[in-house]
């Protein structure tokens, strides 16, 4: 019997996120767009006057905050409506209008940073010390001072902001191709056909039916290969955008342009890549284990996520929330209560897949909205892990936005991936500590390896690809589909070793992995932060689950700090030093221990 997805209109409202809490309807959204545009001339009146007095500067921060907060809600609403149905043309239009409004607001505000720098940092610090309205801005000005050499003249800043809209067309084109225009033949197995979609592919690749796994894998990869030239052109444009911005702002490279504004040392990136390469042998050992457990002579790419046992651990959504809540219980009753209410009552989460729903999972929201979660829940332990991950982001946002002033309400991606992986690590540890049945433990460890697979294999591999691409474009080299496929396949083959056969057509399919990440590679050097996140989270979760004195409180303090501290300082507050190699090395050691434990459990059956 064929399995198909419901349309968006057929999804029970109980299982959708609370979009009406942002704007009651599209008409209210339209009115808010006009309000943002109407307020832009008011901001222009501050131009040339920020240095007049502390009160004038404070007035500027308050006026610009009001417009930014409203624009934030506009962006969230547009993202919500588009993500759940990428074929909805009204939602597509809202997304485009939001991007244009963002560029216009950025242009209207572009004079501000150069003017603040012109005031002089001694004077700004004196104003912070003497004006109650500016007293919270000390760290903001410290950051600005550190980046002042990369802030251009007001007229240049305005141009750089205005071009952000057209330069975003590359990622938009790739996303539309993947989420709206791409068509996938169904997977075919012993029980019939199953629909291949962005919301179902992960579940299909872990199906117990080998034919479903193979045909789903081929359907998904081949659809991307059919559009590889267009997608490669889009990605090349995205990389060139990064190189353009880095040069326009005077950075040494695109990598420096990504890390320096976040105050992340280059060594953190290089430590991850080196540790990853030093530990590929652990992955080779895992593939050998997997081949033996599956009883196959040759392990193929479509079997790298095949179940290792007959037990399929079904985890309904409500059960998943209960297990995540139990896992994070060491963080306190208030924490757990907020999480449960958001996931079960306040409709933070858009839960199940439907036709037209885009791929992936993410947490979104701003100061004046709920911390929403987008996903496609599939009633298994892997979906539970994704839910735990996104709830980690949303709880981070909840504490940051409810504690910090607007200027510090947003935290960086570097901190974000620690909070999300922390949830997964705590939930996994709870299940391993309380569910002693060997088959249940194998299922949990399979989830752990799936998580490591994504964050300690795929993401570092994409980070290596990303570095090669940027350096190639910086040298003036071309980026083509053939080049991308070959480079991606070579990088993947290094981690597969001789244990996974990617010969023939499968080399092309593995090589198309870059095309299957429709947003990540357009976020200038983002993907490495998944690996740093899992490293920091493993360290913190060990302390919290062990009941170390003050560990939970220091972690909550980290969440509440938002963007009020430099990223590495915020993590030190939580109890981890990401400037050292120890957390990364410890996380790879945890990967090795997980493989060893799987070997032991499977051998004992």
Structure tokens at 217: 């894998």
Of 346, 316, 355, 347, the closest CA to residue 11 belongs to: 355
| Model confidence pLDDT, tens digit, residues 327-384 | 999 999 999 999 999 999 999 999 999 999 998 899 999 999 999 999 999 999 999 9
C-beta atoms surrounding 366 within 10 Å = 23
* φ/ψ (deg, to 5) at 364: -140, 170
357 lies in a domain? no
22 lies in a domain? yes
Q: Which of 102-116, 184-198, 536-550 has the lowest mean pLDDT?
A: 536-550
Cβ(571)–Cβ(415) below 8 Å: yes
Q: Which of 218-227, 278-287, 456-465, 580-589 has the lowest mean pLDDT?
A: 580-589
The whole-chain average pLDDT of the chain stands at 95
Task: Give the largest CA-CA distance in the chain.
Answer: 77
| Model confidence pLDDT, tens digit, residues 18-33 | 999 999 999 999 999 9
Structure tokens at 473: 């474009």
> Cβ-count burial of 547 within 10 angstroms (0-12 exposed, 13-18 middle, 19+ buried)?
exposed
86 lies in a domain? yes
C-beta atoms surrounding 499 within 10 Å = 18
313 lies in a domain? no
Cβ(152)–Cβ(185) below 8 Å: no
Could you tell me the residue range of the domain that residue 132 belongs to? Answer: 8-166
Residue 2: the pLDDT is: 61
For residues 587 and 572, what is the distance between their CA atoms, to the nearest angstrom? 17
The CATH number of the domain holding residue 128 is: 1.20.140.70
251 lies in a domain? no
65 lies in a domain? yes
DSSP symbol at 328: T
* φ/ψ (deg, to 5) at 565: -135, 160
Cβ(339)–Cβ(391) below 8 Å: yes
Q: Which residue has the higher pLDDT, 430 or 539?
A: 430
- pLDDT above 90 for 497: yes
Q: Pick the most confident of 537-546, 556-565, 578-587.
A: 556-565
Residue 178: the pLDDT is: 86
Element containing residue 146 per DSSP (H, E): helix 138-147
Give the active site residue among 157, 194, 218, 390: 390
Identify the band that residue 234 occupies on the pLDDT scale cut at 50, 70 and 90.
very high
- Measured between alpha carbons, how far is residue 110 from residues 40, 44, 75, 103, 157 in Å? 12, 10, 20, 10, 5
Residue 467: the pLDDT is: 97
Element containing residue 96 per DSSP (H, E): helix 89-109
> Cβ-count burial of 155 within 10 angstroms (0-12 exposed, 13-18 middle, 19+ buried)?
exposed
Residue 12: the pLDDT is: 97
259 lies in a domain? no
Q: Please identify which residue in the block is written with the tokens 């006026």.
A: 63
**DSSP letter string, 261-304:** GGT--HHHHHHHHHHHHHTHHHHHHHHHHHHHHHT-SSEEGGGT
* 295-302 average pLDDT score: 94
Number of H helices, E strands in the chain: 27, 7
- Whole-prediction pTM value? 0.92
* 78-85 average pLDDT score: 96
Percent of the chain predicted with pLDDT > 70: 100
> What is the count of structural domains for the chain?
1
Percent of the chain predicted with pLDDT > 90: 88
- pLDDT above 60 for 1: no
| Model confidence pLDDT, tens digit, residues 373-431 | 999 999 999 999 999 999 999 999 999 999 999 999 999 888 999 999 999 999 999 99
Strands 192-194 and 187-189: antiparallel
C-beta atoms surrounding 456 within 10 Å = 27
- For the chain, the first-to-last Cα distance in angstroms comes to 34
390 a catalytic residue: yes
Identify the band that residue 179 occupies on the pLDDT scale cut at 50, 70 and 90.
confident
Cβ(131)–Cβ(84) below 8 Å: no
DSSP symbol at 306: -
Residue 180: the pLDDT is: 83
52 lies in a domain? yes
Residue 547: the pLDDT is: 86
């Amino acid at each position: 019997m064929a399995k198909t997805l419901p349309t968006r209109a057929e999804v029970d409202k109980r299982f959708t996120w609370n979009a009406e809490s942002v704007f009651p309807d599209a008409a209210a959204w339209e009115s808010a767009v006009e309000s943002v545009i109407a307020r832009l001339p008011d901001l222009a009146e501050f131009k040339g006057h920020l240095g007049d007095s502390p009160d004038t500067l404070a007035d500027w921060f308050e006026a610009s905050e009001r417009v930014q907060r409203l624009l934030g809600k506009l962006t969230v609403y547009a993202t919500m409506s588009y993500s759940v149905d990428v074929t909805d043309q009204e939602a597509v239009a809202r997304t485009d209008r939001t991007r244009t409004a963002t560029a216009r607001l950025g242009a209207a505000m572009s004079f501000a940073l150069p003017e603040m720098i012109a005031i002089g940092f001694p004077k700004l610090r004196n104003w912070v010390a003497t004006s109650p309205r500016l007293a919270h801005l000390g760290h903001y000005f410290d950051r600005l001072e550190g980046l002042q050499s990369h802030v251009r003249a007001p007229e240049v800043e305005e141009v750089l902001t205005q071009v952000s809209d057209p330069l975003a067309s590359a990622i938009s084109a790739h996303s539309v191709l993947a989420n709206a225009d791409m068509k996938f033949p169904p997977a075919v197995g012993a029980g019939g056909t199953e629909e291949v979609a962005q919301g179902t592919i992960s579940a299909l690749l872990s199906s117990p039916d080998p034919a479903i796994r193979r045909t789903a894998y081929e359907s998904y990869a081949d659809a991307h290969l059919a559009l590889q030239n267009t997608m490669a052109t889009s990605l090349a444009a995205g990389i060139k955008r990064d190189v353009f911005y880095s040069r326009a702002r005077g950075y040494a490279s695109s990598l420096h342009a990504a890390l320096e504004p976040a105050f992340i040392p280059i060594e953190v990136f290089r430590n991850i890549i080196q540790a990853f390469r030093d530990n590929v042998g652990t992955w080779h050992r895992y593939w050998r284990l997997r081949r033996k457990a599956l009883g196959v002579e040759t392990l193929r790419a479509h079997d790298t996520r095949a179940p290792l046992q007959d037990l399929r651990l079904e985890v309904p959504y409500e059960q998943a929330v209960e297990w995540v809540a139990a896992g994070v219980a060491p963080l306190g009753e208030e924490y757990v209560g907020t999480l449960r209410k958001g996931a079960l009552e306040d409709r933070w989460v858009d839960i199940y897949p439907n036709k037209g729903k885009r791929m992936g999972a993410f947490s979104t929201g701003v100061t004046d909205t709920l911390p929403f979660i987008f996903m496609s829940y599939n009633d298994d332990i892997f979906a539970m892990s994704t839910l735990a991950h996104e709830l980690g982001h949303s709880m981070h946002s909840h504490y940051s936005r409810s504690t910090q002033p607007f200027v510090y309400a947003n935290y960086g991606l570097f901190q974000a991936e620690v909070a999300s992986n922390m949830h997964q690590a705590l939930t996994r540890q709870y299940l391993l500590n309380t569910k002693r049945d060997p088959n249940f433990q194998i299922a949990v460890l399979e989830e752990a390896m799936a998580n490591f697979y994504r964050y300690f294999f795929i993401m570092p591999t994409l980070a290596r690809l990303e570095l090669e691409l940027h350096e190639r474009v910086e040298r003036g080299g071309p980026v083509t589909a053939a080049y991308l496929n070959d480079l991606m396949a070579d990088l993947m083959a290094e981690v597969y070793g001789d244990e996974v056969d990617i010969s023939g057509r499968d080399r092309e399919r593995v090589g198309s992995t870059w095309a299957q990440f429709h947003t990540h590679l357009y976020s200038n050097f983002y993907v490495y932060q998944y690996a740093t996140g899992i490293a920091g989270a493993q360290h913190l979760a060990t302390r919290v689950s062990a009941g170390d004195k003050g560990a939970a409180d220091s972690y909550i303090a980290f969440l509440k700090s938002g963007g009020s501290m430099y990223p590495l300082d915020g993590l030190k507050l939580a109890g981890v030093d990401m400037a050292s190699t120890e957390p990364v090395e410890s996380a790879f050691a945890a990967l090795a221990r997980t493989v060893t434990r799987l070997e032991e459990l499977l051998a004992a059956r």
